[in-house]
């Protein structure tokens, strides 16, 4: 009988990837923005396929009270066949001033991490099954 071989290097890489995922997506201050196409799919229970043209933007703030984003993570659903490995999503990292695309990917870290959410069309959150609290800005006292 052959003993089971454990790929320690692979296990360590998976652990590091999990830690990076947690750091990037769970411990980050910011908001998520969606265009109408993305919103239409995101809030329908059971709908896990975003249409072509859907755009999701997540801002990353240094702290909860930061006045501006330091980075924007963007997902754009492209035409069928654009990126079969990620269900046609393109991933971008944009600087906080929105003046420069720092990274544009069809493969790489973004796609590898989002692959864990394949059943949810590569989107990290299941928005249809979450409750939201929306804060409206205070009325303008000059009007």
Residue 115 belongs to some domain of the structure:
no
| The predicted structure's pLDDT at residue 12 | 62
For the chain, where are the alpha helices, taking DSSP H only?
A: 8-21, 36-42, 109-114
Residue 129 belongs to some domain of the structure:
no
Domain count, the chain: 1
Could you list the mean pLDDT of each consecutive 10-residue stretch along the chain, which spans 143 residues? 57 60 59 90 77 93 86 95 94 93 88 87 73 50 47
Residue 35 belongs to some domain of the structure:
yes
Domain of residue 84 covers 28-105
| The predicted structure's pLDDT at residue 143 | 45
User: pTM for the complete prediction?
Assistant: 0.70
Q: Which among 134, 109, 128, 106 has a CA at the least distance from the CA of 46?
A: 128
Cα torsion 20, 22, 27, 28: sign = positive
């Amino acid at each position: 009988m052959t003993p089971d071989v454990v790929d320690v290097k692979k296990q360590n890489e998976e652990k590091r990837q999990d830690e990076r995922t947690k750091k990037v997506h769970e411990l980050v201050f910011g908001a998520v923005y969606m265009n109408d196409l993305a919103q239409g799919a995101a809030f329908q229970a059971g709908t896990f396929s975003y249409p072509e043209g859907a755009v999701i933007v997540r801002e990353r703030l240094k702290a909860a009270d930061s006045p501006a984003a330091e980075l924007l993570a963007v997902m754009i659903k492209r035409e069928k066949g654009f990126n079969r490995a990620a269900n046609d999503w393109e991933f971008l990292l944009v600087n906080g001033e929105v003046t420069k695309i720092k990274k544009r990917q069809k493969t790489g870290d973004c796609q590898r991490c989002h692959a864990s959410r394949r059943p949810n069309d590569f989107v990290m959150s299941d928005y249809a099954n979450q409750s939201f609290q929306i804060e409206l800005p205070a009325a303008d006292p000059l009007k």
